[in-house]
Amino acid sequence: MSITPSARRFAAAGVTAAALLLAGCSGGTDEVNGGTPVVSGTPDPAAPSESVAAPPASTTAAAAPSPSGGDPLTPPNCATAALRITLGAGDAGAGSVYRPLVFTNTGGTTCQLRGFPGVSYVAGDDGHQVGPAAAMSGERGGEVRLGPGGSAAAPLQLANVQNFDPATCRPTPVRGLRVYPPGETQSAFVPLETTGCTGEQLPGNQLSVQTMTAQ
């Protein structure tokens, strides 16, 4: 059977239409991207090929060193058991005697003292306190280091209580001093035979002590 020219034109038109239809199925226009052609199977270069979670930001700052409660090189406080406490020679003043209360390190390691010792008169076999303890006089000083055999002193003022009104003083013999080194709760006894006041309302201090100083 012969094919007429009209049939050939119709067949050609159909092939062309089919080609166009196939082209429309294999490609297209991305309207969201403003009409840019998107080829199927090609990743968008603006997007990562694999989703990778970013590491979470740290919520904990680097810890700063905590302030120290003390210099680690500072030696320990001198224990009462490691000290020899004596009264040095003194000078007489107006109504008082001034004598250094000397603390000597008898231990084998360095220790330190700082501030005021506690001092009071004691009497009797039981060592009971006589009158008020020594008043602290002046400013608190700095640390005094004592190597083995080293010494420090606290100036001590001992009032002549005979100058006080006897009715107020109520004088009584004492046999020594009870001494607490700075920072210690254990006391030591220092022999001293003198007179103290049992009265509490005195016109002045029967004992006054200053801060520790290096010898």
Query: Mind giving me the DSSP string for 68-92?
Result: PSS-TTSPPBPPGGGEEEEE---EE
DSSP summary character for residue 168: H
> Domains of the chain, with CATH numbers?
80-214 (2.60.40)
H-assigned helices in the chain: 5-26, 166-169
- Give the tens place of pLDDT for each residue, 178-187: 999 999 999 9
In this prediction, residue 71 carries a pLDDT of 55
For the chain, what percentages of helix, strand and coil (3-state, to nearest 5) are there? 15, 35, 50
Band the pLDDT of 92: cuts 50, 70, 90. Answer: confident
DSSP summary character for residue 159: E
The DSSP secondary structure of 143-154, one letter per residue, reads -EEE-TT-EEEE
- Give the tens place of pLDDT for each residue, 32-81: 344 433 333 333 333 333 333 444 443 333 333 333 344 557 899 999 99
Q: What mean pLDDT is reported for the chain?
A: 77
In this prediction, residue 163 carries a pLDDT of 93
Q: What percent of the chain has pLDDT over 70?
A: 67
- Give the tens place of pLDDT for each residue, 150-184: 999 999 999 999 999 999 999 999 999 999 999 99
Task: Report pTM.
Answer: 0.66
In this prediction, residue 152 carries a pLDDT of 98
Cβ pair 202, 160 in contact under 8 A: no
The Cα–Cα gap between 145 and 139 comes to 18
